[in-house]
Structure 1
Amino acid sequence: MTHPARPRRLAAGLALAGTASAGLLGAGALDPVAAVPRDAQCQVPGFATQMRNATAVFTGKVTAVHVADASGSDIGQELTHEVEVDLVYKAARVTIEADEQVLTTRSVRDTCNLGRLNVGKSYLFVVKESEGDSPQLIATGNGGTKLETDARDERARRLLGTPVSPEPTSETKAAFEALPVDPPSTLSRAAAPGVALVLVGLLGLVVTRRLGRRG
């Protein structure tokens, strides 16, 4: 006994699966950072866990990106993003200023790479502070950093409360006033004070002898 309806159901199921896959690909194309990271070791936690694990959560616009080779990697890169911070939702044991730098990685092995963020775009940054003498704010592929939207802002607000303005940017470079430098003294100029003292001493000796004779 044949079942003519089954091939049609299978075809319909494949069509639905194809439509769903196309929708997911389309969503990833609209927001590359929103897609699940390709790195197998990137376990993406829930939104609330991402907020809880973060050192800082803030919104800001990327104004520039600086690319450098990652240490210990053949093809990996470190990308430093200059960010104009808008609002700060969380700052745990760290001060978030109006101008910050956020570090991401690209093509680094055994690392959950986030890649390069787009200049001119605003993101909800969910970052951790690195350890060491020169700590940096790091955004990873599973940390929660994504393009800023009203929906994401609202979710962050419900979890973390009303955001505040960032701190003013501190002056990291001390201003040193250049002191005037005198030209090196010639031998005659350097010896002049000593000669003058000798002459004064001799003149005093002559005056003293004359006074002694008169007495």
Structure 2
Amino acid sequence: MGTVSALVRRLLTAALLVGAFVTVGAAPAQAACACSGPQSTLLQRIKAADAVFTGTVTAVSRPDGTAPMASPSGGLGATEQAIEHEVTAETVYRGRVDTPEQTVTTTPRNRATCGLGQLATDRRYVFMVQAGGAAAEPVWTDNGCSGTRVATAALVTQVEDVLGKGEPATPPPPPPAAVLTDVDTSEPTPLSRAVAPGLALVLVGLLGLVLVGRLGSRRG
């Protein structure tokens, strides 16, 4: 009987240890990324975005000017700063994207916050972003839930089905060149000088008449 009781105690102890191990091992696991709000489907993300455009990432940096550091797992750690991407925009479907040069900021890759992390340079994306920064130079942001993803043909077709074919992101035309005209800076001609040539002609005419009159009287 004592042997059976000891065996039962050992089994219970082993079960408790296994349960504790499973509980401790499960604690560090993060919840799956879940974007809240009206952005669960692609259609809803397109409609919720302040701007939608295609573009290619040309450069990546952090706000402090240093290059982002990848974590050993291949992504960016949750403590890393937001990442700025210089983007050459191509086709604009929505939003005020007046020039090809745009800036898109993403958050570090984190399963709990849905961050996108660092986007790949020289890769084309469909940017579904929210407006931020100064009005004169908007900085577009994607917190991981906006919908930015690689620009596949299927995705571009879906966007065009909702927003149309879009417009090219062309720079505004340069202002017209100023036409310079010469300004006469010389002093105005005095009245006496302006009248002198005419007066001289009148005097010559009078003298001529006098001479003709005298010649006529002599002949008479």
Deviations 1:79-109 (A, max 9, x none): 1100011111111xx3342110101111579
The 3 A distance-change label for structure 1 pair 87 and 74 is: closer
Give the equivalent residue in structure 2 for 1:156: 159
Give the equivalent residue in structure 1 for 2:43: 48
Asked whether the equivalents of residues 114 and 141 of structure 1 are also in contact (C-alpha less than 8 Å), the reply is: yes
- Superposed, 1:14-163 pairs within 5 Å as 40-43=33-36, 45-68=40-63, 75-91=79-95, 94-106=96-108, 111-130=113-132, 135-163=138-166
Asked whether the equivalents of residues 83 and 107 of structure 2 are also in contact (C-alpha less than 8 Å), the reply is: yes
CA distance in 1, matches of 2:117, 2:60: 11
CA distance in 1, matches of 2:98, 2:142: 14
One-letter amino acid matched to 2:83: L
C-alpha deviation, 1:51, in angstroms: 0.6
CA distance in 2, matches of 1:48, 1:74: 29
Structure 2 unmatched ranges of 5 or more: 1-30, 65-76, 175-220
One-letter amino acid matched to 2:104: V
Tell me, what secondary structure is at the counterpart of 1:49?
helix
Tell me, what secondary structure is at the counterpart of 1:77?
coil
Q: TM-score, normalised by structure 1?
A: 0.52
CA distance in 1, matches of 2:78, 2:117: 16
One-letter amino acid matched to 1:42: C
The 3 A distance-change label for structure 1 pair 135 and 168 is: closer
Q: TM-score, normalised by structure 2?
A: 0.51
Give % identity: 30
Asked whether the equivalents of residues 80 and 101 of structure 1 are also in contact (C-alpha less than 8 Å), the reply is: yes
Structure 1 unmatched ranges of 5 or more: 1-37, 172-215
The 3 A distance-change label for structure 1 pair 76 and 107 is: farther
CA distance in 2, matches of 1:81, 1:148: 16
The 3 A distance-change label for structure 1 pair 68 and 108 is: farther
C-alpha deviation, 1:167, in angstroms: 3.5
**Computing the radius of gyration over CA atoms, which structure comes out larger, 1 or 2?**
2
CA distance in 2, matches of 1:74, 1:48: 29
Asked whether the equivalents of residues 33 and 111 of structure 2 are also in contact (C-alpha less than 8 Å), the reply is: no
CA distance in 2, matches of 1:117, 1:85: 15
One-letter amino acid matched to 1:163: G
The 3 A distance-change label for structure 1 pair 121 and 55 is: same
CA distance in 1, matches of 2:78, 2:169: 37
Asked whether the equivalents of residues 76 and 107 of structure 1 are also in contact (C-alpha less than 8 Å), the reply is: no
Report the number of matched residues. Answer: 129
